[in-house]
Structure formats: structure tokens, C-alpha cells
Amino acid sequence: MITLSNYINGNWVEGKGKGTVLHDPVTGAELATANADGLDLASALDYGRERGGAALRALSYGERAAMLRAIADVLVANRERYQALSVENSGSTAVDIAFDVDGGIGVLKYYASLGKGMGDARYLMEPDLDRLGKDEAFQSGHVWTPVRGIAVHINAFNFPSWGLWGKVAVALLSGVPVLAKPATATALVAHEMVRDVVDAGVLPEGALQLICGGGRELMDLVRPGDLVSFTGSASTAASLKANPNIVRNNIRFNVEADSLNTALLGPDVEPGSAEFDGFVKEVAKEISVKAGQKCTAIRRVLVPEAVIDQVQDALVARLGKLAVGDPRNEVVRVGPLVNKAQQKAARDGLERLRSEARVVFGGEADFPLTDADHASGAFFPPTLLRADEPDQARDVHDLEVFGPVATLMPYRDAEHAFALARRAGGSLVASVFTGDDAFAADSLLEIAASHGRVAIINEPVIKSNPGHGVVMPQCVHGGPGRAGGGEELGGMRALRFYHQRTAVQADVERLRRLQADAVTYTG
């Protein structure tokens, strides 16, 4: 069994104490221990701020983009090893690996290419200049410069690679050093990736540090100029954000939390049509991929009451074909949950949902497994519930069961559908399947404000749609309200979090010269 060490202050160091054991969620085998207790995190944060920050800020956006490309090259060269580790530590199927391992590499490549176009510049500047008074020569503009602290990235267990690199790519491109903390239970992939990147020597010292486990004191140690980007459950987010040091110093804090995302079938869609079939396929895929352990997974399936039985039959038929078990067997489509604790949490959550919705598929504790057994593995069956009275129900709109679980609900008319979509109190994403332009436009106006992303799918784009749960780096990721209220990615928009906007009042000719040396930025 290996011990995951921590990369801080330019060295790999082991924590003190016994540490947490990481398991294979299929076999229960012990894989590694992770431990960051007793580390001097205050000095690690200083090291990042001083060494890493200075080295990164000495480079242009274009040079930092080349660094991202070099990281991606290292990861591509070792991809097969990460795939194997992802199977071992997360029970990932081939599709799950594509989401996480390849997703992480993809976002690095995307920001490498975007940053290449930013060339030699070292700051951003808005295009508009404004006159401040009678004198036309004295005007104002707005520059964006990289913050001078360190970014603390705290990530969730379900995306050890994508969660790490999606954030690191934007921070490093911006010129901001990072201390990253993957979730302990699945830290193996992140640990190995960072080890390879450090060994390859493609980053300046202090630009990227990693702790595997612990980190409980981090919120007390950050200071003005630092940033925190948190991904995980809403309850952890709330407690970290309320830390007195965070509040007192107004530490910039981005939250990506959980969400009860919606799939909405338009009233125009007939059973047997391309949109109907595409909708059913999408919902079944969202239930099965990563065994439903995706913050973007569809949890609430809203359909016209006239077709709910047909949708249910079609979904049950698809879910019935999914083999659950050890992803090392190619027939398996649904792997395990990440550990027994998550399995218990999902079972408890399902029990609560059962009080207001009935199970129409799955839900049982004992079900057939391929090449695996229930005693060792943390498996959960693909499960579909149906809530015929969605207005009276509460938990189906509020309780995220982090597993392969979704609830089907009927709506009476468009207004009712939109009201139900908004019931989740803010979500990451909704998918609307409709061939009707008027319904598409209405749904956008009615639900956009409570969602970070809306995919409006009609027949011509069904095949091009990367998928409801896929976060594309071109698009903003995040959602209002219980989804955390944060924003990540979204092309250039992501740089905003890592920069400070400053108004500059000066001679208009001087402002124009400043603009000439900057990347033009519109946010």
C-alpha cells in the first residue's frame, strides 16, 4: 500500500499520523493512505505567494499558456496509468474516465490554446474609455491585473482530475499560484498526475502545490489577496464560507455545490419523435454515467402528464439494459459509488424520497452484479422514482441523492413546468427538449435566472449535443442559489476570478498606450 505524500515548499513530504485509507470501491481492497496532518501549511501558502506568484507574474499570458500545454503533454504521455488508477480508486467505466481524466486534459489544452492568442501581454484592459469632466484629455479606463495571493482549490471526490486541472488551468494562465486539495477518498489520480508534472519540471517552483488530505486549517490561514475555489457539498461550502477569517477579510470565495438539475420534455414532443427518443436516451445516460455521481446529473425529469407513462416505459427499458458491476469488464455500464459511506448516504436519501415518490425501477439493496459482490463493493442500482404530485413533494426538489437516481414528474402546462424547474432553488443546468421555438424562448426566459446553463435541444442538434452533464470550457459552469452561486470556466470569463479590476484615471493618450500593451477584455 502506498502513502500519498504532499508537495509543499518545493518538497514531497508525508503527513504525521495514521492517515486515511483509500479503497477500491469494487473490491474494497486498500490502495493507499493519504495524510496531510501536521504540515506547515502557513509556510506553504507563503511559498506559493512569494516564489510561485513572482515566477508566474514574470511570464506573459502566452508563456503561461505554453506551460499549460506542457502539463497536458505530460498527462497525455501517462494517460493509461491514470485510467487504470481511476478504475482502481473511483470504480470508473470507460465513459467515466473520459469525463474525468480526459476532461482534465481537455480543459488544459483549451486554455493553452486560448492563452496562446493572448501573446506577450501581462494584464487585461477593457476597451471603453470614459471622459470624466470637461477636459477630454483626462479620462478613465479599467485594467485587470492578476491577484497577488495564492488560490486555494478544494475539490470534490467525483472529479479528481477534471476538478483539479479545470481550476489550475485558469489560475496558472492568469498568473496565480495554486495550493490544491483533492478530496481524500479519490486523491490517487490527482497525486500521480501532480507527481508527474513536478518531475517533468514544466512549472516554476511554487506555482502548484498539493495536499492529499487534511487542510482543515486552510480557511484560517488565507489572507487578503488569496482566493478560495471550493467544489463539494452545499453544507461544507456553507461552513467554510462562514469561517470568521474568510468573512473578516472578504476573501474571494467561489462555490460550486450540489444541484437538482432538470430535464424538461416540451409539450410539443410526441412519443416516437427524435426529440422524445433523444430525451429518454439523455436521461438514462445521466443516471448511469459515473453512477450518477455528477453535480450536473439530471435529478428531476419533467414531462407532460399525457406522456408520462410512455416516458417511464422507455426509461425503464433503457435502464434495464445497464449492467452494474466491475468496470474492468467491458459490458459494465454502471460502476460502484465511491465508497460504502456514499452508498449509505444514497440509500438513506432514497428512503427519504420514497416517502413522496414511488420507485418504478431499481431501488433494491440486492441486485445482480457483474464480476462483483455486494459485501465488498459500494454498488447502487440505477433507480427511477415517480412523483405524481410534484407540487406537494419537497425532498424530490431539495435532496440530492448522489447516485444513479432520478425522479420522473408530470406537469400540466408550460407555466407549471417552469415553476417546477425553478423549485430546486438554483441549479447548474437544465436541458429542454423541444421542437417548438415559442416554448424554447419561453422556457429560457422563465428558467434561465435559476440556472447556470440551459441546453435547448431539438432534432437537428441531438447528435452534436455533448450531453447535459458535460461541462464545456467555453461555457460558464456554476449556478445560482443552492448550486453555490459561483462561476468557473466560460473561456475568458473565467479569468475574472483571478484578476482584480482597477479603475485607472489618467491622460487619455497614456490610457491608449496601456491598452495597446494589454489583452482587450470584456469580462
CA nearest neighbour of 362 among 321, 392, 333:
321
CA nearest neighbour of 385 among 363, 401, 416, 400:
363
Question: Is residue 356 within the footprint of ligand NAP (CB under 6 A)?
Answer: no
Query: Which region, judged by CB under 6 A, interacts with ligand NAP, from 10-18, 95-103, 142-150, 211-219?
Result: 211-219
Question: Is residue 158 within the footprint of ligand NAP (CB under 6 A)?
Answer: yes
Amino acid symbol at 218: L
Question: Is residue 35 within the footprint of ligand NAP (CB under 6 A)?
Answer: no
Q: How far apart are CA 285 and CA 457, in angstroms?
A: 16
Question: Is residue 489 within the footprint of ligand NAP (CB under 6 A)?
Answer: no
If DSSP codes are grouped into helix, strand and coil, which group holds residue 376?
coil
Determine the angle formed by the axes of helices 274-288 and 308-319, rounding to 10 degrees.
50
Catalytic residue chosen out of the listed positions 88, 256, 275, 487 = 256
Question: Is residue 295 within the footprint of ligand NAP (CB under 6 A)?
Answer: yes
Burial of 102 (0-12, 13-18, 19+ CB in 10 A): middle
Query: Which region, judged by CB under 6 A, interacts with ligand NAP, from 139-147, 178-186, 405-413, 489-497?
Result: 178-186
Question: Is residue 257 within the footprint of ligand NAP (CB under 6 A)?
Answer: yes
Q: Count interface residues toward ligand NAP (CB under 6 A).
A: 27
Q: Is 488 a catalytic residue?
A: no
Positions 388 through 407 that interact with ligand NAP (CB under 6 A)? 400, 402
Taking the complex as a whole, the smallest distance from the CB of residue 64 to ligand NAP amounts, in Å, to: 24
Q: How far apart are CA 349 and CA 108, in angstroms?
A: 35
Question: Is residue 236 within the footprint of ligand NAP (CB under 6 A)?
Answer: yes
Q: Is 286 a catalytic residue?
A: no
The residue whose grid cell reads 407513462 is 309
CB nearer to ligand NAP: pick between 344 and 412: 344
Question: Is residue 27 within the footprint of ligand NAP (CB under 6 A)?
Answer: no
Q: How far apart are CA 299 and CA 288, in angstroms?
A: 12
Contacting residue, 92, 184, 209, 262, with ligand NAP by CB under 6 A? 184
CB nearer to ligand NAP: pick between 257 and 303: 257
Angle, alpha carbons 282-232-339 (nearest 5°): 75
Taking the complex as a whole, the smallest distance from the CB of residue 34 to ligand NAP amounts, in Å, to: 8
What ranges in 482-521 are assigned the alpha helix state H?
508-516
> 504 Cβ partners below 8 Å, 6+ apart?
140, 141, 142, 143, 511, 514
Question: Is residue 203 within the footprint of ligand NAP (CB under 6 A)?
Answer: no
Question: Is residue 181 within the footprint of ligand NAP (CB under 6 A)?
Answer: yes
Query: Which region, judged by CB under 6 A, interacts with ligand NAP, from 8-16, 128-136, 200-208, 215-223?
Result: 215-223
Question: Is residue 256 within the footprint of ligand NAP (CB under 6 A)?
Answer: yes
Q: How far apart are CA 258 and CA 283, in angstroms?
A: 18
Contacting residue, 65, 74, 107, 156, with ligand NAP by CB under 6 A? 156
Catalytic residue chosen out of the listed positions 295, 400, 487, 488 = 295
CB nearer to ligand NAP: pick between 43 and 235: 235
Query: Which region, judged by CB under 6 A, interacts with ligand NAP, from 122-130, 141-149, 180-188, 302-310?
Result: 180-188
Reported for 360-369, long-range contacts at CB under 8 A and 24+ positions apart, including other chains, are 360/312, 360/316, 360/384, 360/385, 360/386, 360/408, 361/315, 361/316, 361/319, 361/320, 362/319, 362/404, 362/405, 367/324, 368/324, 369/324, 369/325, 369/326
Question: Is residue 258 within the footprint of ligand NAP (CB under 6 A)?
Answer: yes
* Radius of gyration (C-alpha) of the chain in whole angstroms: 24
Query: Which region, judged by CB under 6 A, interacts with ligand NAP, from 210-218, 273-281, 317-325, 377-385?
Result: 210-218
- Residue nearest ligand NAP, Cβ-based: 232
Q: Which three cell numbers stand for residue 137?
A: 484629455
Active site residues: 256, 295
> Residues in the site for ligand NAP, rule: CB under 6 A?
154-159, 181, 183-185, 213, 215-216, 218, 231-233, 236, 240, 256-258, 295, 400, 402, 428, 484
